[in-house]
Structure 1
Amino acid sequence: MDDLTHHLSGARWRKSSLSGDDGGNCVEVATNLPGLVAVRDSKDPSGPALTFGLGVWSAFVKDIKRGSFEV
């Protein structure tokens, strides 16, 4: 088991309350990891996860809330 896999083994994943059960595009986020935020596809929980440093994730969330991204 590599170091990152070891860190993710303790992840507590949560899915947005806005996500439906219809198999749409949903992500899960784990914010309980030391120094990391992990993101994965909720339809493939055993698949790969992306990880971000806390500062990068915080800036991303602030930009989303500010409406910085065109949807």
Structure 2
Amino acid sequence: MTEKFRTRERYGEAFWHKHHEAWQRRALNQREYCEAQGIPLKAFGNWRAKKPNRSCRHRNFCTDVAA
């Protein structure tokens, strides 16, 4: 007897980064974007919560400035 295991696909950093950039360019909320792209909303939210802030558009808000 063969059992089928439910597996989930693992996505890499580049995959999530690409989707994050695309999501920011669109006028959709996270749920709408994920549904349109067929990606798991929970996983997208988890990645966003733990992703490092590498590309900061407003440098003044990303670095500590000593007064």
Same fold (TM over 0.5): no
Q: Which has the higher helix share?
A: 2
TM range (shorter): under 0.3
Structure ranking higher in strand proportion:
1
- TM-score w.r.t. the length of structure 2 is 0.22
TM-score, L = length of structure 1: 0.22
